[in-house]
Structure 1
Amino acid sequence: MSITSQVMRVIMKSFKSGVRPCRILSAIRCISGVTLELKKYFGLDLLLNSENCAVIWQHCNQKLSQESHRFQSLLKESRVDTLCTTDDPLSDLSYHDKLNRSEFSVQVLPTFRADSLIEIENQSNFQNTLNSLAFITDNNCRRFRKLRSSNHVSCGLFCTA
């Protein structure tokens, strides 16, 4: 059975069971994306479902162990020129620098995600974040002005990475 007919069967079953059209469209986008990636990167012409997920898992893991399917190889094959990562203000950015200084042709840039600096509900975690930020920036964060200054220093580290 072709992928298209499998998707159509899922759509018809969903309509009959009363699932809203917007949910069906979201599912189609997800199924289509996964199906295209399985075919493009792993040579699988299968629709992911509960019956074949173990086979797909094994096949993909076997492929990922090959040099041709290493992370850097897949990025080059996809002609990616820039990769942005999501990083905490306290992240060690040395690996970005190492990659950018290496022969790897993809530029790797960090993005500043300040969740740990604004999630104050868990006071223990927030205090640990402030202590770490103070250590990294060599700035006491007990006052808001100092915290703001430490954030600027931390942002500067991202800009130079």
Structure 2
Amino acid sequence: MAQTAPKLAKAIADADAPAQLVHVGLHNPTPQTLHCILAVFFHVSDDFSNQSRLVEEGIFKFLTSEWYKQPTTREDTVKLACGVFIKFFSNVRNSQAISEFEKEIQEFIDYNNEHRPALKQLCVAIQVSINFLFFFIILYYN
């Protein structure tokens, strides 16, 4: 996978390109395009302001769509998606959007646990991250 310089990733994010990629991802991109989309999301989602824009554009609808079940989807592409999930789960401001897709996120975890044994630890990390997010919300906001 090509490395993206942080400066370039910031320039891409500032240009609103990642938000536009959500829509590309929802329309059956090629495996290579899918991988690139997720790589961009992975690089720009460290910044919470980028996350809010991606949430507005429907990143969880994309991440939980059927793309990961396609036989042409590479394991390293799914690894990127796992990283994106974990980054979004670290931001309590995403809790509302995450709760709307909780069932679909669980389906993502279950499917990849079953069909991609090498990703079991990442799936556990996703599960722990989402559980911690909801625990934090219950603890501090109720």
Greater strand proportion: 1
Same fold, TM exceeding 0.5?
A: no
The structure richer in helix per residue is 2
TM-score (normalizing by structure 2)? 0.31
From the CA coordinates, give the structure whose radius of gyration is larger: 1
Higher relative contact order, chain-length normalized (CA < 8 Å, sep 6+): 2
Q: TM-score when scaled to structure 1?
A: 0.29
